[in-house]
Amino acid sequence: MITFTDFTYAYPTSDAAVLRGIATEIPDGQLCGLVGPGGAGKSTFAYAASGFIPHVMGGESTGGVSVDGRPVADTPLSELVAQVGLVLQDPFNQISGAKFTVREELAFGLENLGLPRAEIIARVDDMLDRLGIAALRDRSPYELSGGQQQLVALGSVLVMRPSVLVLDEPTSQLDPAGTRLVFGALDEVRRTGITVLLVEHKLEQLAGVADRVLVLAGGELRLDGPPETVLADPRLAEWGVGGTRFTEAARRAGDRWPAGRPLPVTLDAAVEGFAR
Amino acid sequence: MAFYQAGDSRVHRLNPVTKLVFALVLIIAAFAINVVWWPAVLWLVLLPAVAASGVFRPFMSRTLRYFIPFIALIFLAQGLFYPEGGPVLFHLGPLSVKVNGLLFAAQTALRLLVLIDAFLFLLLTTHPGLLMSALTERGMPPNISYVVSATLQIIPTFRARAQGILQAQRARGLDTGGGGPIRRTRSLVPLVAPLVLGSLTDVEERAVAMEARAFGAPGRRTSLAEIPDSAAQKAARWLMWAFAAATLVANALGVVS
């Protein structure tokens, strides 16, 4: 569970708060999406949820953030990373550079935690199978496609068995095939019951996996609710978030969209609505 | 990675630390004893080990490639400019080629041959990842291991990034093809700033990614790789260290000269 308690934050290089009065709770096992325009503070939100704010980025804050009841500011980062996994945008930059094969790359975090070899082997081999990348095990991480590299980054974090996973736009630099790979893996991840915070621009894919969506604009939380309600909200355009193609199609269809039926945010909902 | 030759010989299967100690001891011994032919004996000791590991051809080809420029330079410098006196073999204009200069050049060249080839043998038969794991397991700071491993892989990383920048520059009309070497080198100058600045920007994100995988965690690291070791290898390492110590003592006491 991730809890933000009236959290306000400014980076050390600026007096202006990037996040203002954030108060929300992401309960255990929920996959919560976070959307917003560029500069809304989404990455800052992700860093705060994973403890890199304040441990690495520093800065000034009021209020607090806790994970599973432990305030992140009071928990050493080396302990926190075993509890909260963080996956970033650029798959290339997440390759450690210290390892020569995918299998070794997945083991990197576990080696740093000092786990016994037998457990490292069991966890790594299990993760390779679960993410469907066992065939890549002896390849260099540098030789993989962007989507495959992002799966390796995801696996490298999941193998540490965190209770919370934070992903900061994990598909922003991927092509459609890579995006499908990552969302396929996320679908698998959600079945494990892990709590997920997913910062994502690709609203249609997000609508397919999220239990709940938060909208962040100008450093403040503006909307909070199920994806079918939040992603169909007409104010999204006003905040620079846009909407899904399905919502837009139904909106433009006018009378052809059944009266009183909520606007769709997924392909299935759109097909069902237009079929009536 | 550029050196390592995959294989399954007994030498490949040795603990990397045993091979590292072997290399270090050969080098210490080569420099400890001040006799011209002594490093040649040590180099001959190295050859059966190279042959047994099945890397003889790459070993010899790299030795020639890296070593010949050194030999030429050493003989040229010491042969012509040896500062101390002694019998002169022949004169070359104002310069004179001295016997002592050539002997000194031969000894220096042989010592360097042992130094280069001892490490070449280690690198050809030991996967760098396994070597770093073995050393980290023995208490070497993980930062050092990281720097060595990352340096070995930095070339493909840089090449990939440079290729991306080059394509972007070409798409905007930069002509990087054709012309002589000077023109081609000059056309690569616009790559330098984005390559260096881009790499510096990446450092921050990479540091976060590394911390997210507990790179800064205190305590002893473990390793996925099983690093083979045996009582015989431990004994061999002690014996090798004893040999290195003996050569240093012999040199200090002036036993061999």
The predicted-structure confidence for B120-139, as pLDDT tens digits, reads as follows 999 999 988 888 888 888 88
Residue B2 forms part of a structural domain: no
Instruction: Check residues B37 and B96 and name the one with the higher pLDDT.
Output: B37
- Radius of gyration, CA atoms only, chain A: 19
Are B126 and B160 part of one and the same domain? Answer: no
Task: Tell me which residue range forms the domain holding B72.
Answer: 10-134+229-253
Pairing of strands A31-35, A212-217: parallel
**Structural domain total, chain B:** 2
CB B49 within 8 A of CB B148: no
Are B122 and B243 part of one and the same domain? Answer: yes
Are B179 and B249 part of one and the same domain? Answer: no
Which residues of chain A have a CB within 8 Å of the CB of B205?
88-90, 93-94
Are B112 and B35 part of one and the same domain? Answer: yes
Among candidate residues A212, A232, A214, the one with its CA nearest the CA of residue A31:
A212
Cα distance from A205 to chain B (closest Cα, Å)?
25
Residue B221 forms part of a structural domain: no
**Cα B10 versus chain centre, distance:** 22
Distances (CA, A) of B145 to A84, B131, B152, B182: 26, 9, 11, 38
Among candidate residues A113, A101, A169, the one with its CA nearest the CA of residue A141:
A101
Are B116 and B15 part of one and the same domain? Answer: yes
Are B154 and B27 part of one and the same domain? Answer: no
Residue B219 forms part of a structural domain: no
Residue B220 forms part of a structural domain: no
pTM, two decimals, is: 0.79
Residue B218 forms part of a structural domain: no
Q: What CATH superfamily is the domain A2-243?
A: P-loop containing nucleotide triphosphate hydrolases (3.40.50.300)
Confidence (pLDDT) at B257:
61
Are B74 and B188 part of one and the same domain? Answer: no
Are B71 and B181 part of one and the same domain? Answer: no
Residue B90 forms part of a structural domain: yes
User: Chain B within 8 Å of A105 (Cβ-Cβ)?
Assistant: no
Which residues of chain A have a CB within 8 Å of the CB of B202?
90, 93
Residue B52 forms part of a structural domain: yes
ipTM: 0.85
- Radius of gyration, CA atoms only, chain B: 24
Are B174 and B80 part of one and the same domain? Answer: no
CB A68 within 8 A of CB A83: yes
Ranges under pLDDT 50 in chain A: none
Are B23 and B109 part of one and the same domain? Answer: yes
Q: How confident is the model at residue B101 (pLDDT cuts 50, 70, 90)?
A: confident
CB atoms within 10 A of CB B193: 10
Which residues of chain B have a CB within 8 Å of the CB of A156?
213
Are B249 and B164 part of one and the same domain? Answer: no
pLDDT digits (tens, 9 = 90+) for A192-221: 889 999 999 999 999 999 999 999 999 999
Confidence (pLDDT) at B248:
93
Calpha distance B28→B247 (Å, rounded) = 8
Residue B199 forms part of a structural domain: yes
Instruction: Check residues B73 and A26 and name the one with the higher pLDDT.
Output: A26
Domain boundaries, chain A: 2-243, 244-276
